[in-house]
């Protein structure tokens, strides 16, 4: 009875085809475009940051040429780390039974926490190879990551995946893959918080507080901000079916992985020191 009532009150889901267009066996999916768009727009925004001497109190320690070369490293870190993170953190037994599924990325299954680890490894390796100040490079990347998160969560919405818990809020929706139950559109919550809101907070730090001149500060704000946003949204998001609720029946894997991020982010903000002129 309750489920039927929720369904009748729910908003209609905008049933957008996950495939934008297809030519023979080649399909262009919104999910892939979200990653491409996030990476390209993030790269363009990062180039603007390093061109703005005012933000750095002089010449930026990272050049546009450095960013041009780093984009390939970042792409590999995002894709490989995101995929392996999902396999290890969320669904390892399934992929051990069928290892070939690991390469079927078009079916979904990317972990932000894994992508963060992969990109971090890429940043440290690239900075070491180019002899760049690693925290300045990480600060730049941290500022642009919310752009990719915004588009990625919109793609999750279009794919009808990672939906929320059952709800009777006026904007609840019945997702094609979520059964006959009205649910929170938690993907849109994440797009708003992890994407738009966090981007604006970081822009305030870089353009108003001039915190690019204080290495680690912007990175700390990003890591702690993402962790807090993710923990909040997890209260509305349906946990992964293969994991369910953990440790007492209310914690989720997303929360567990995000708590250390908040602690690390606070530590980076507190320990940040202004870069010598």
How do residues 234-277 score in pLDDT, each as one tens digit?
999 998 776 677 776 778 888 998 999 999 999 999 999 987 76
Q: Which residue has the tokens 């938690």?
A: 186
Instruction: Look at residue 187 in the predicted model and tell me its pLDDT.
Output: 97
Instruction: Look at residue 81 in the predicted model and tell me its pLDDT.
Output: 87
Instruction: Look at residue 7 in the predicted model and tell me its pLDDT.
Output: 55
How do residues 29-57 score in pLDDT, each as one tens digit?
888 899 899 999 999 999 999 999 999 99
Kindly report the pTM of this predicted structure.
0.88
How far apart CA 255 and CA 249 sit, in angstroms, is 13
Instruction: Look at residue 232 in the predicted model and tell me its pLDDT.
Output: 97
How do residues 61-92 score in pLDDT, each as one tens digit?
999 999 999 999 999 999 888 888 777 777 77
In the chain, domain spans? 28-271
- Asked if 47 and 62 touch (Cβ cutoff 8 Å), the reply is no
Share of the chain above pLDDT 90, in %: 61
- 136-149 mean pLDDT: 97
Give the pLDDT band of residue 96 (cuts 50, 70, 90).
confident
Q: Considering only CA atoms, which of 119, 41, 128 is closest in space to residue 80?
A: 119
Query: DSSP state, 275?
Result: P
The residue with greater pLDDT, 197 or 250, is 197
- Asked if 272 and 215 touch (Cβ cutoff 8 Å), the reply is yes
- 175-196 mean pLDDT: 94
* pLDDT surpassing 70 at residue 106: no
The residue with greater pLDDT, 14 or 93, is 14
- Asked if 143 and 218 touch (Cβ cutoff 8 Å), the reply is yes
Helix residue spans in the chain (DSSP H): 2-9, 30-51, 53-56, 64-90, 92-97, 112-130, 134-158, 186-190, 198-207, 217-234, 253-271
Top mean-pLDDT range of 8-22, 47-61, 163-177: 47-61
Instruction: Look at residue 84 in the predicted model and tell me its pLDDT.
Output: 85
How far apart CA 99 and CA 95 sit, in angstroms, is 5
How do residues 1-14 score in pLDDT, each as one tens digit?
445 445 555 788 88
Instruction: Look at residue 234 in the predicted model and tell me its pLDDT.
Output: 94
């Amino acid at each position: 009875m309750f489920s039927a009532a929720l369904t009748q009150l729910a908003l209609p889901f905008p049933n957008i085809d996950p495939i934008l267009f297809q030519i023979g066996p080649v399909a262009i999916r919104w999910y892939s475009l979200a990653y491409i768009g996030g990476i390209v727009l993030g790269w363009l925004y990062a180039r603007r940051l390093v061109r703005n001497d005012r933000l750095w109190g002089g010449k930026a320690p990272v050049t546009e040429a450095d960013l041009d070369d780093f984009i390939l490293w970042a792409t590999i870190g995002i894709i490989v780390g995101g995929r392996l993170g999902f396999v290890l953190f969320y669904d390892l037994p399934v992929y051990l039974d069928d290892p070939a599924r690991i390469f079927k990325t078009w079916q979904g299954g990317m972990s932000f926490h894994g992508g963060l680890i992969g990109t971090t490894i890429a940043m440290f390796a690239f900075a070491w190879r180019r002899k760049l100040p690693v925290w300045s490079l990480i600060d730049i990347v941290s500022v642009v990551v919310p752009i990719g998160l915004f588009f990625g969560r919109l793609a999750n919405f279009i794919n009808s995946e990672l939906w929320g818990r059952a709800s009777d809020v006026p904007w609840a929706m019945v997702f094609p893959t979520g059964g006959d139950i009205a649910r929170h559109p938690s993907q849109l919550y994440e797009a708003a918080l992890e994407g738009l809101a966090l981007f604006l907070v970081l822009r305030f730090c870089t353009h108003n507080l001039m915190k690019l001149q204080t290495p680690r500060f912007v990175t700390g704000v990003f890591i702690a901000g993402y962790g807090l946003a993710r923990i909040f949204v997890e209260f509305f998001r349906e946990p992964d079916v293969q994991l369910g609720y953990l440790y007492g029946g209310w914690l989720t894997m997303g929360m567990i992985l995000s708590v250390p991020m908040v602690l690390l982010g606070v530590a980076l903000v507190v320990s940040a020191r202004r870069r010598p002129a």
